[in-house]
Chains A and B, each alone.
Chain A
Amino acid sequence: MEAHLRLATANYPVISFGTGSNVRLPGPSISQPNVYAFNRTSYDSMYKELYVKDEHLYRANGVLELLDRNRGIKWGPERWQDWSIGLPRLTQTNDKGSVGTEGGTVDVVFTCEERCWDAVIEDLHQRGGKLNKPVHVINVGIIDNAKEALAGGSAILDLANCFQKALEEEEEKFGSGSQARDGFDDRVPEIIGEWEERWPALPVSWTLAWF
């Protein structure tokens, strides 16, 4: 969600998803997490529920702060596997980064954990690429804590900016009449390689998959 916020703030169209079976938030002990259903529970209702349950606890462990931030970003958590790719998204206008996602697809998918990347790729194999639309799927391994999330958000934004720059350069090449155009996709490995030099602590995986 940090990455969602950063990308949306930079005016990129963004949709965000989870890949687990349910939304799990820390509870009073490690064996008692708060579990919510994807797609049906709003961040606001989670916030209110936990606020009533134990304001002190959830403020102390940062959950309320997290939910407060998230309810400002979008209505509620969505699950990747339930996403009908290409289904228009016209009603999510209150979500940050919704402008530009009306068509219900994206060009790049960022994941923040290796197992999420695996889940996304497995899911795309499962769907079988029926839309014939190429999509770059990139994992930036971020440790799940507030500090790392901030750094990770910056790293992802940096990568997105590099992609955007390359894309614009390639699109303009046509206008200049240049024939030496390899296109954006060919430059992706190099862009990621250069980015990796700047962010050596973050492991990265990338592939070109199909929606």
Chain B
Amino acid sequence: MAAPVALSIDEQITQLDDARRLVLSDPNYYPRIIQGILPIINREARVELKRWAADFLAEGFASPQLPSQQKEALGLIVLDTLKSLLENPHEDIVVLESVVQTAATIYPLVLKWIINNPYDGPTWERMLAVKSRILRIWDTAATGVRICCIKFAQQVVLAQTTGPDPEPRRDGSEMSLSLVPENHPLIAPRNLEAEGSGLLDRILGIFQESTINTVLVNATLNSLSLLVRARPRIANKILNVILNFNPLKLANSPMTPKLRVMVKSMEKTTRSLLIHINKRDPQNPLSGRIQQYVERMMRSRTEIFDEANKKRGHPEYIDGMDPAKRQKLGGQAVTAAANRLHVPPLAPGPHTVGELFTITTDDALKKFDVAQLSEDLVVKIGITILQRLDSDILNQAIDGIRYRYKSLESTQPGEFSFATLPLSVDDDEDEYEPDFFNAEDTEQILNKLDTEQPEEPDIPATDMTLGKFTLPLPPPLTPEQAIRIGQDTITRVFGVMQTLDEPGKKTKAGMNRLAASTYDRDAWITIITRLATRAAAGLEEPPAIIKQEVDAGSSLSLANNIRESLYVYVLEDFRKRIDIAVAWLCEEWYNDRVQAKYETDPVLHYDKWVLKVLNGILPYLDARDKVLTRFLSEIPALSAEVLERVKGLCRDPSMVNLALTSLLYLVMMRPPVREIALDAVEDVWATFLLTTSFTDEDAKPMAAKYLTKWRPGFADRIKAAGDDEMKTNGSAAAA
């Protein structure tokens, strides 16, 4: 691609244009062409060539034709070039603009690459150098470059903030903070987030600057919509800053054509953004404030520009105007003919805002509700009057109202604050107060009060305020009542569990699951078992509980009631609910262990309830039931007492096989209880297999096999016994 030196700049550009045409028709050429042009855009290259190449890069990376994986790979190649161009202090603006645009597109791609390739430190270093250079020139470069820096910062914020929950998966090219693993060696999510947050503050700082650069403000406003939409966690912060921004602030200076374009543009841009946000998400918590802001802006805009733009006046409204309409327009509603204006002082006592501003003495006029008129009409009338009104009269009216207000204020301190009136928006957002008042003159404030007046009479005055009302506390429950209510609740939960029975297919929840968060049967079981085992432990200091448990059974009885209910619930259908029994007993066991940590002599539940459940199950077992084996192998701890019960099963000859299988399973699979399990097997051997004449022929050799394997002396004993045996029962074969 490198053009021969002999070619003129124009000829080289023509060649490059051909190359561009090629990639436009087939994006597969991008890698080759980009690699080809990189050598020609060093710092010393002709500015025409650099402009062309930088523009080409910006275009290529923005192209919807190029797949994002390919952009990711190409992004790594161009970083060096971007860095060297950015670091040239005398670089051309047009080149810089394209370079920063390219960097804005590349940044999330490189971040993604780094996530997946944590070893690639050098690339990340280059990206960091590009980023820090852009952030450094952000404040000082030419406006055209600065707007691109704003967009770059917006992309960084977008990439380094988490998205909504759950994050929408669109095309895989989206980058957000949640993709960064916690333990990444190069990029710690916490640092990225902090940087993003700082950059957002810097972006929003423009709305608080004293000198307003319209182009930058517009570029910022128009880049914020995506952040508000896709990053709900920072949306409120952004919106609050915008809602405190007054794009008409500049309107106080003398209006030059340029200034008018600037003010109108910022106002319209702000309004469009807010309208867009409310349209996209009408349910957002700030929608009310946004609506108010938009309406207020439209009014102020009309006031400022229609006043300045005399050709749009509507004198016809003056002539046909009902005198009643003038009355509600407050202090200004006087004809120019009257040169002495009398504002009657207010009678003592509470007054509405409407009364404060009503200066007519005609009672009929006072009753006219200006809210019946359309807002447009009121605005037009107001403007026309303001244009014609003698300023002397207006000042008299204002003074009159001011006098009224002051006297009202002195009699009713704190009841009515003028300062909060026009900004009667969410009070909880008041940590930032813009210099809204200084930006407007008295006339504008009055106008605003005027137009808002229809809403004001609804604001309750002092006579409407209610005293403090506190709901009386309910009578305290007796312990019996509390237990009964607790029992009712438990019954209800079991009722719910019945309806939720038969969980469908189980989904694998993975490592990050949270117990009891799905509201299915399992979740309720978790809740109910923990309520039984831990509720008392959670409410008071552990040592205190234990004492209480020992002394007074009342607080315990709820827990025990739940245990009873659980027990009944399991036994109702123990084959299907054995998992519940295991889950519950696990909780009991765990709780016992925890209790034991705090108390030297804790009240233990596990052993008691294991036995109880087992006793409940044993009578109903069938010779082929696997449930016993499962139960014994899954419960967290086994005692000799438990095995004693299992042994007891062998009294029924048909159950010997089942008991033995379960015990032998424990011998094989649970080494910690192997010894006691073997003891039990040996006992069974001695007590039942040798003495009882029973039909199942498999049991004996099976038991003998295991005992021989695990109990060294057994083989000899069996031999001795075997001789006797052969006499009575010719079929037994010792292993």
Contacts and interface: CB of A to CB of B under 8 A. Distances in A.
B112 interface: no
A131 to B, nearest CB: 4
Contact of B264 (A132, A171, A205, A208): A205
A134 interface: yes
B151 A129 contact: yes
Interface stretch (B265-273, B411-419, B544-552): B265-273
Interface string A131-173: 1111000000000000000000000000000000000001100
Nearest to B260: A193
Nearest to A200: B311
A95 interface: no
Contact of A118 (B213, B225, B272, B280): B272
A125 B225 contact: yes
B63 A186 contact: no
Nearest to B62: A131
Interface in B240-278: 256-262, 264-265, 268-269, 272-273, 275-276
Interface in B11-54: 20-21, 24-25, 47
Interface string B71-99: 00000000000000000000011100000
A174 B65 contact: no
Interface string B144-172: 11011001101100000000000000000
B219 A132 contact: no
A194 interface: yes
A185 interface: yes
Contacts of B105: 131-132
Contact of B222 (A85, A129, A174, A184): A129
Contacts of B261: 189-190, 192-193, 196, 204, 206
A84 interface: yes
Interface in B671-694: none
A102 interface: yes
A207 B144 contact: no
A103 B25 CA distance: 10
Nearest to B279: A122
Contacts of B142: 181-183, 186
A72 interface: no
Given A129-B226, A192-B261, A186 B215 contact: yes
A36 B65 CA distance: 29
A192 B145 CA distance: 21
A140 to B, nearest CB: 13
A121 interface: yes
A170 to B, nearest CB: 7
Contacts of B145: 183
A174 B272 contact: no
Contacts of B260: 193, 196
A188 B105 CA distance: 25
A84 B222 CA distance: 19
B360 interface: no
A116 B143 CA distance: 27
B229 A128 contact: yes
Interface stretch (A7-15, A43-51, A54-62, A86-94): A86-94
A138 B55 CA distance: 23
A210 B151 contact: yes
A182 B142 CA distance: 5
A164 B218 CA distance: 21
Contacts of B152: 132
B59 A84 contact: no
A197 B268 CA distance: 20
B273 A125 contact: yes
Contacts of B383: none
Contact of A86 (B25, B63, B230, B275): B63
Contacts of A130: 62
B58 A193 contact: no
Contact of B147 (A125, A134, A175): A134
Contacts of A184: 144
A197 B257 contact: yes
A209 interface: yes
Given A189-B262, A207-B218, A183 B143 contact: yes
Nearest to B25: A90
A111 interface: no
Given A134-B147, A183-B144, A194 B92 contact: no
B258 A132 contact: no
B358 interface: no
A174 B88 CA distance: 14
Interface in B101-132: 101, 104-105
B222 A207 contact: yes
A103 B61 CA distance: 12
B61 to A, nearest CB: 8
A184 to B, nearest CB: 6
Contacts of B59: 86, 103, 105
Contacts of B63: 86-88
B476 interface: no
B264 A210 contact: no
A182 B97 CA distance: 13
Contact of B223 (A103, A118, A129): A129
Nearest to B17: A102
A174 B151 contact: no
A128 B226 contact: yes
Contact of A134 (B24, B151, B275): B151
A194 B24 contact: no
Contacts of A186: 142-144, 213, 215
B223 A210 contact: yes
A207 B226 contact: no
Given A87-B65, A103-B24, A133-B62, A205 B265 contact: yes
Contacts of B25: 88, 90
Contacts of B259: 193
A21 B155 CA distance: 32
Contacts of A129: 151, 154, 222-223, 225-226
Contacts of A185: 143-144, 147, 215
Contacts of A126: 225, 276, 280
A183 B104 CA distance: 20
A106 interface: no
B143 A189 contact: no
Interface string B183-219: 0000000000000000000000000000001110011
A124 interface: yes
A87 B62 CA distance: 10
Contacts of A86: 59, 62-65
B92 A125 contact: no
B65 A88 contact: yes
A208 B273 CA distance: 12
A178 to B, nearest CB: 11
B257 A193 contact: yes
A171 B222 contact: no
A120 B275 CA distance: 13
Nearest to A139: B268
Contacts of B215: 185-186, 188-189, 208
Count chain B CB atoms within 10 A of each CB in A118, A132, A181 and give the residue with the most. A132
Contacts of A182: 142-143
Given A125-B226, A129-B223, A208-B147, 19 more contacts: A88-B24, A102-B21, A121-B269, A122-B276, A122-B279, A125-B272, A125-B273, A125-B276, A126-B225, A128-B230, A134-B151, A175-B47, A181-B142, A186-B143, A189-B258, A193-B260, A196-B261, A205-B268, A211-B62
21 contacts: A87-B65, A88-B65, A90-B25, A121-B222, A129-B154, A129-B225, A130-B62, A132-B101, A132-B152, A133-B101, A134-B144, A183-B93, A183-B143, A183-B144, A184-B144, A185-B147, A185-B215, A189-B265, A193-B257, A196-B260, A206-B265
Interface of A: 84-88, 90, 102-103, 105, 118, 121-122, 124-126, 128-134, 170-171, 174-175, 181-186, 188-190, 192-194, 196-197, 204-211
- Which 8 A-B residue pairs are closest in the complex by CB-CB distance? A193-B257, A183-B144, A128-B226, A193-B258, A88-B24, A131-B62, A125-B225, A183-B142
